[in-house]
Structure formats: structure tokens, C-alpha cells
Amino acid sequence: MKQGLIPGIKFEHQFLVPQNKTVPFLYPESEEFLVMPEVFATGYVVGFLEWACVLAIKPYLNWPEEQSVGTYIDVSHQAATPPGMVVNALVELKSVDGNKLTFSVEAHDGVDLISKGCHQRYVINKKAFDERVKRKLINSCIVKK
């Protein structure tokens, strides 16, 4: 990590919600999701908030060798946003504990607060992380069958 990755870093990120980020597109394999309302899906809201946190800290990492992975999220999803609206994420790094980063996060759609909460990420070495994942797959029952 580079100097300057300290609490207080704030970042704002905007995104125009497309049709393919609505609930029916979240799991097209799910017959239940296919008939649900065409609004920004909670799963995509979570990804959008993670994206904003990644962008907030990227200048402070030795990218792409260092990256971050999400490890915890606790957010509301309190208002529906139809496609065509712009959502705005506001994230702030609240604490740095070694490689563990904790953010406050929220998102607005210009009319309503759509999400608010907390998100944690860990800074990782991408190569070492990929090796651990590879070993996990090799040692899993999936590969042994």
C-alpha cells in the first residue's frame, strides 16, 4: 500500500442504471426473478457500492499487484430505482486496521436515498490470492471426482 491510505478518504461514483441491472437479469436462471419488478436489483446495488470503494482506494494501492476483496457488507435497500435513472454512491473510508478497510457507504438516485450502511474490504496481493484459490480448487472434492 502507498502512503495516504488513511481514514477520511471520500469518493463519489455515478452510474446510469441500464435495463440489464434490474431484478429479472440478476439470475436469469430463476423463474421467480424473471417476473419480478424491473428495478435496480439489490445484488447490483451491492456491487455498485463495492465498485465505488474499489475506485476510492485504487490510487493508494500498487495496482494491479495489490487489489482489494469485499469481506462484509451490511446495507439497506430502501427505495426502488427504475432503469434510466442515475445513481450516485458516496463512500468514506472510516478505518484502516492493517489490510482491513471499513467504509461507510450510501447511494442516492436523485429522488430517494436507496441504500446506506457499512462495507469492509481487505487489501490483497493478487498473485498470492490467486494461488490460494487455485490450491483450494485443486484440493476440493470437485476436482477429485
Q: Which of 22, 31, 32, 50 is catalytic?
A: 50
Name the β-bridge partners of 97: 100
Q: Which of 13, 22, 77, 106 is catalytic?
A: 77
Q: 107, 102, 104: which is closest to 120 by C-alpha? A: 102
For the question of residue 22 being annotated catalytic, the response is no
35 Cβ contact list (under 8 Å, min separation 6): 24
For the question of residue 102 being annotated catalytic, the response is no
Is the alpha carbon torsion for 52, 55, 56, 61 positive or negative?
positive
Residue 39 has pLDDT above 60, yes or no: yes
Binned at pLDDT 50, 70 and 90, residue 5 comes out as very high
Q: Which of 38, 42, 92, 102 is catalytic?
A: 42
For the question of residue 42 being annotated catalytic, the response is yes
Instruction: Provide the CATH topology of domain 10-144.
Output: Thiol Ester Dehydrase; Chain A (3.10.129)
- Summarised one tens digit per residue, pLDDT across range 82-117 is 999 999 999 999 999 999 999 999 999 999 999 999
Q: Quote the cell numbers at residue 55.
A: 475506485
Omega within 30 of 0 (cis) for the link into 83: no
Is the alpha carbon torsion for 127, 52, 13, 90 positive or negative?
negative
Measured distance CA(57)–CA(102) in Å, rounded: 11
**pLDDT-wise least confident of 19-23, 37-41, 45-49, 140-144:** 140-144
Q: What is the pTM of this model?
A: 0.94
- Summarised one tens digit per residue, pLDDT across range 42-97 is 999 999 999 999 999 999 999 999 999 999 999 999 999 999 999 999 999 999 99
